[in-house]
Amino acid sequence: MPTILITGANRGIGLELVRQYAADGWHVLACCRSPENAHDLNKLAQHSNGQITLHLLDVTQAAQRAALVAQLKGQAIDILFNSAGVSGSWSSQGFGQCQEKEWLDVLHINVVTPMLMMQDFAANVALSERKIIANMSSKMGSITDNTSGGSYLYRSSKAALNMVNKSAAHDLARKGIAVVALHPGWVRTDMGGPNGELSVEESVAALKHNLANVTFADSGRLIDIDGSTIPW
């Protein structure tokens, strides 16, 4: 049974990733900050015959990451999916509004922790058959696509994540691991808001399709929801 580890698995796109991968027969290591309060995730897990396991993980907490590394030592992980992310408040990231503390928090969660997760779990991915790391990025991190300005916190974090993704693709090539950045579309979640173009079900179905087609030749790409490459 293939295994996927998903961060931010308690709601939004992460929760739907859990649901659809479990439905396809995968073992899902569902990580979230507060497993005891993750009601929807617990409900899914209860009906999964042990296929979905819950794991405590605030990605910013080194001790929690270390505990999970120890718990999963020697276990193959086919896909490490760094989905957890934050946007920062949309109403306070225009020119003249940006605050240092909030910006650093966004960078910490969206850029630094995916890298730490890759460092922590690359050995597990290397043991697997598929050997894929997926970092949830965004078209908003594309410099080419930026025709409207603003959103400094979020845009800069995803642009930096794209660079982290590309370097890791080079560095993990020797382990045979493909590292890809994914854009999930504009999705109706707490982050995406009610006007998003896609439901979580539609987004995740397309993300899964794209991941199923990933080969080593795709490593380093920023992949749009339709499978095309988003320019940097």
Name the packing angle between helices 113-126 and 152-171 (round to 10°).
Answer: 30
Residue 212 CB neighbour total at 10 angstroms: 10
Report residue 57: phi and psi, to 5°. -160, 100
Q: Residue numbers of the site for ligand NDP (CB under 6 A)?
A: 7-8, 10-14, 32-33, 58-60, 83-86, 109, 136, 138, 183-184, 186-187, 189-192, 196
Smaller CB separation from ligand NDP, 55 or 131: 55
CB of 176 to ligand NDP, least distance (A): 26
Smaller CB separation from ligand NDP, 13 or 77: 13
Alpha carbon of residue 104 to chain centroid: 19
CB of 182 to ligand NDP, least distance (A): 8
Is 85:109 a contact under the CB 8 Å cutoff? yes
CB of 59 to ligand NDP, least distance (A): 4
Report d(CA 136, CA 21) in Å as an integer: 16
CB of 40 to ligand NDP, least distance (A): 11
Smaller CB separation from ligand NDP, 105 or 171: 105
Token pair for residue 219?
């490593």
Smaller CB separation from ligand NDP, 11 or 166: 11
